Structure 1
Amino acid sequence: MTYKFPNGWVGGTALVLGPVLLLVGTLLRAPFNFFFPDQLLAVAEHPTLVKAAYTAFLAGNVVMWPAVAVLAQEIGVRRPGWAAWAGVLVTVGLFERTFHAGVDQAAFSATSQLGVQGATDLVARGYQDLHLFSFLSFTIMFGWFVLAIAAYLGGVLKAPWAVALGCMGLLPLGVLKGTELLSIVGTVGLCVALVPLGIRTLRRQPRPSRRSVITAVPVAVGLGALALLSSLG
């Protein structure tokens, strides 16, 4: 038997959790105006809420990579070419949003150090600076359209769910972007398309052995300890 990574348990969980986290992050920052000066003002006035919103969105973005990988595996059974191109494009787009999240965090830190106006001026001066992902921004939106078509052609999603998946390509991109109507449409569409698929994927998985369950406990504790140690450095 050929082993696949990520396996069905990881991929199925990601298909459920990733879209939900993205939707939660999107809704939490909905009360604030869209563009970066207002986002910086919001983090100064409502730091807990705004940081929770951005953290949930970042977590969902990271969790989406195994979800996309499993979806590409399913598509590849019938449409391997489409699966490869769609998987690569969407994954690069996820990397880019993760890069944006790092810039967001730096801007939030600047807000606490320089004040809202100082951080706004700093971000404004560097907003158009070129970097690797400046040339790959198209993947953030375009990749989802390709993946939606691939999922339909590969027989993984029927037309309505494929259209819902494609709505993720409407999600605005860039540093310190808030929520607008298309943000909600995109993340709701992602949930509609992928959460049921994730549930079906999890139901297809074999029941974990007793040994696997027992092993998972110390592994989870160890990973938690490593996470805590990482935060200290």
Structure 2
Amino acid sequence: MRNDYVFPGRSVAGISMILGPLLLVTGTLLRSQVNFFFPDQLKAMSEHPGLMTAAYTCFLAGNVLLWPAIVALATRIGQTRPTLAAWGGVLVLIGLFERTFHAGIDQAARGLTERRGPGFAESVVSESYQDIHLFSFLSFTIMFGWYVLAFAAYRAKALGIVQAIGLATMGLLPLGVLKGTELLSIIGTVGLCVALVPAGIGALLEGPKPSRRTVLLTAIAIPALGALAYVSTLG
């Protein structure tokens, strides 16, 4: 039997709109006391490993968790502005993929810092910083995609003017490997919270209550996923 379900679903999109921006702003603020450029980031990873691991992990988790929110927002825009929805959604998603790629390099650098010291890690990063790879040609999506999506959301009346401006401020967020926090980082992540968190809360409150079957399946799935997550770390 057909229904009106649209991937990824109201609940998933709502949770994504809330947790994604909040985790991004948390990660941004946690590393706000460390100088922006990578030598200082590496030094801080050596001197304050717990803090920096938490900062980079929160930022990465927020970045990954954003994709359902972007898909949901693009779907809503597409009801009246399909071309703008396609361009904005695709560009932002590619930008999220690229930030995830950068996070992998950040993780490798943290490993080098732990095992070989920040000086060695700095030399490796500085020598390889300009290496060409696929995402070298797609860096513009990290910033430009947010402007397109914000314009599309405003034109489609999916977001109000204040929320659309908040969404656009994510285009100010610096890009690249081992980047710390500056004022624009805080403006961008706080702007994202302004844009998406109210929409996420609204999506959760306006949606139908989950059925008993859904609650039961969720209660079973959460510990099962936790077990799978643990097993994944073993190999």
**TM-score higher than 0.5:** yes
Q: Does 1:26 align with 2:43?
A: no
More off after superposition, 171-180 vs 159-168: 159-168
The 5 Å alignment of 1:1-233 reads 1-233=3-235
TM-score, normalization by structure 2: 0.98
CA distance in structure 1 between the partners assigned to 2:185 and 2:227 by the alignment? 35
What are the ranges of 5 or more consecutive residues in structure 1 without an aligned counterpart? none
Q: CA deviation at 1:3?
A: 2.6
User: How many residues are aligned here?
Assistant: 233
Shift in Å at residue 222 of structure 1? 0.8
Q: CA deviation at 1:214?
A: 1.2
Distance, in Å, in 2 between the alignment partners of 1:79 and 1:201 is 21
Deviates more, 1:205-214 or 1:23-32: 205-214
* Deviation beyond 4 Å, 4+ runs, structure 1: none
Provide the C-alpha distance between the structure 2 equivalents of 1:184 and 1:39, rounded to a whole number of angstroms: 17
Q: Output one character per residue of 1:68-111: Cα deviation in whole Å (capped at 9) or x when no partner.
A: 00001111111111111100000000000000000000000001
Q: Which amino acid aligns with 2:187?
A: V
Q: How many angstroms apart in 2 are the aligned matches of 1:57 and 1:130?
A: 24
| Structure 2 letter corresponding to 1:22 | L
Q: Partners in 2 of 1:54 and 1:110 — Cα distance? A: 15
CA deviation vs aligned residue, 1:106-159 (integer Å, no higher than 9, x gap)? 000001121111110010000000000000000000000001000000101111
- CA distance in 2 between counterparts of 1:215 and 1:162 reads 36
Aligned-residue CA RMSD (Å): 0.7
Q: Which amino acid aligns with 1:224?
A: G
Structure-1 separation of matches of 2:217 and 2:110: 39
Counterpart CA distance in 1 for 2:218 and 2:199 is: 25
Alpha-carbon offset, residue 2 of structure 1: 3.6
SS in 1 for 2:117: helix
The whole-number CA distance in structure 2 between the counterparts of 1:190 and 1:112 is 33
Cα displacement (A) at 1:160? 1.6
Cα distance in 2, alignment partners of residues 141 and 100 from structure 1: 14
Amino acid in the other structure paired with 2:226: G
